[in-house]
A and B are shown apart, each in its own frame.
Chain A
Amino acid sequence: MNNRIKVLRAERDWTQQDLADRIEVSRQTVNAIEKGKYDPSLPVAFRIAQIFDCRIEDVFQP
C-alpha cells in the first residue's frame, strides 16, 4: 500500500521519531510503514490520519 507519510512528515518538519512518539509506535514501525514494507492496522492508520489532520484515504492509497 502506498502512502504520503514521508511528504506529510516533511511538511511539518517532523522526524520519524517525532511521528512515532505521537502515534505511540516505534521508529522502526514508522520507517516500515513509510517504505510500504508494513501495512498498519486500522487503529494505527486512523491515528496517523488524525495526527496529520487528513482523511485516511489522503494518507494511504491502495
Chain B
Amino acid sequence: MTAKENHRLYFRRMMIVAILYTAATLFAGFMSRQLPEGDSWRIVLALLPVLPAVGMIAAMVSFVRGLDELEQRIHLLTVAIVLATIVIGSITYGFLQAYAGFPGINGFVIGVGGILGWSVVHPLVRRSYA
C-alpha cells in the first residue's frame, strides 16, 4: 500500500468511526435523560461510545503500521513526549489540588490536552528530521 492510500484509508476509517462515535454519544445522551437518576442503564449508556472509540484505536494502529520506518519513529516519539507530559502534568496538578487547594478539573482536559499536545509536538519532531 502506498503512503497516499494509507492516508486515504485512515481518513475514511476515522470518518466512519467518528460518525458512529457522534451517533452513540447523542443516542446515549438522549436516552439517559429519559431514565431516572441512579438507573444502572445510565452507566451502560455512558460507556456506549467506547465501542466506536475502540474502532478509532484500531484505525490509528493500522495507519501507523502502514507508515514507513521514519514516519513511525516520528509518530512514536510524538506519542512518548505527549504521554509523558500528560502523565507528569496530571500528577503535578493532582498534588496542587491536594496540597495547595487548586480546584478540581474535568477529566476531559486530559483528552483535549492530548490532542492539542499532539498537534504542537508532531510538527516539531517532524522538523527535527527535515
Contact = CB atoms under 8 A, between A and B. Distances in A.
B129 A24 contact: no
Interface string B104-130: 000000000000000000000010111
A29 B130 contact: no
Nearest to B129: A32
Interface in A5-45: 24-26, 28-29, 31-33, 37-38, 40-41, 44
Main secondary structure of the interface of B (DSSP, over half): helix
B69 A28 contact: no
Given A26-B3, A38-B129, A32 B68 contact: no
A24 B129 CA distance: 18
Interface residues of A, number: 13
Contacts of B73: 38
A28 B65 CA distance: 17
B71 A44 contact: no
Contacts of B68: 24-26, 29
A40 to B, nearest CB: 7
B70 interface: yes
20 contacts: A24-B68, A25-B69, A25-B70, A26-B68, A28-B70, A28-B126, A28-B130, A29-B68, A29-B69, A29-B70, A29-B71, A31-B130, A32-B129, A32-B130, A37-B129, A38-B70, A38-B73, A40-B69, A41-B69, A44-B69
Which 9 residue pairs spanning A and B have beta carbons closest together?
A29-B70, A25-B68, A32-B129, A37-B129, A26-B68, A29-B68, A38-B70, A41-B69, A26-B3
